[in-house]
Amino acid sequence: QKEVEQNSGPLSVPEGAIASLNCTYSDRVSQSFFWYRQYSGKSPELIMSIYSNGDKEDGRFTAQLNKASQYVSLLIRDSQPSDSATYLCAVEDFNKFYFGSGTKLNVKP
Amino acid sequence: DTGVSQDPRHKITKRGQNVTFRCDPISEHNRLYWYRQTLGQGPEFLTYFQNEAQLEKSRLLSDRFSAERPKGSFSTLEIQRTEQGDSAMYLCASSSALTPTLYGYTFGSGTRLTVV
């Protein structure tokens, strides 16, 4: 079983601030990484994917990948109360995704 | 609706009963996955299909669990002799075999199982 580690939180940030979410993984051969958002009682929805070292930006979201350190992060700029959710990191391994337990984010108005 | 559809949304069953869940994937997706999620945890892989072939099943999965995808379209997940520990959200997801690692999975709304 692949290990995907996330701080469970909760991470609390004020509205308009930058939220930083982190994830580490155990398998060096993993090539594809994903961030999902999950609202309470709902199913996960894909926010971003990243495959190459460095940063990938999409609107207010930036994913960062460092394969040497086996580390993936998600930055949310200008955080909004609607961003309050659990953020799941997923690592791909031979067509299956392994998920971390998620970080709960609270954005305070 | 072109998303992943799961039925039922909720199921309450007595311990020892059998239950069956259904998943209809996005029509152009040939890969279908089943995951289980308990409170405070991320989704845990159970099994996946490419077309009608079951390509992998989690070694952690009890023999009481079985899944089928007889015509490569919808899939069913059956749990026999349910136990209280089976209480969880059962998530179905689909993807294209060509692009699973490009676009990720699309999840259905899930079936929440409560065993009493």
Say whether A90 and B40 touch across the interface (CB within 8 A).
no
CA distance A32 to chain B (A): 6
Say yes or no to pLDDT of B93 above 90: yes
Q: What is the mean pLDDT of chain B?
A: 92
> What pLDDT, on the 0 to 100 scale, is given for residue A28?
75
Q: What is the mean pLDDT of chain A?
A: 93
Say yes or no to pLDDT of B36 above 80: yes
What are the tokens at B26? 């996005």
- What are φ and ψ of residue A23, in 5° steps? -155, 135
Q: Is the dihedral of CA B63, B22, B24, B102 positive or negative?
A: negative
> What pLDDT, on the 0 to 100 scale, is given for residue A34?
95
Say yes or no to pLDDT of B1 above 60: no
pLDDT > 70 in chain A, percent: 99
Rg (CA), chain B: 13
- The least confident of B11-15, B63-67, B98-102 is B98-102
A26-75 pLDDT per residue, tens? 887 778 899 999 999 999 999 999 999 999 999 999 999 999 999 999 99
What distance in Å separates the CA atoms of residue A68 and residue A65, rounded to the nearest whole number? 9
Say yes or no to pLDDT of B105 above 80: yes
Give the strands of the sheet with A19-25, arranged side by side.
A4-5, A19-25, A71-76, A61-66, A54-58
Rg (CA), chain A: 13
pLDDT band, very low/low/confident/very high, at A9 (cuts 50, 70, 90): confident
- CB-CB: which of B40, B42, B48 is closest to A96? B48
- CB-CB: which of A1, A31, A46 is closest to B104? A46
Say whether A97 and B109 touch across the interface (CB within 8 A).
no
Say yes or no to pLDDT of B83 above 60: yes
First to last CA, chain A: 39
B69-80 pLDDT per residue, tens? 998 899 999 999
Q: Which residue of A has its CA nearest to B41?
A: A101
Bond before A81 cis per omega within 30 degrees:
no
Residue burial B26-59, b: 16+ Cβ < 10 Å; e: rest: beebbbbbbbbbeeebbbbbbbbbbeeeeeeebe
* A55: CB partners within 8 A, 6+ apart: A62, A63, A64
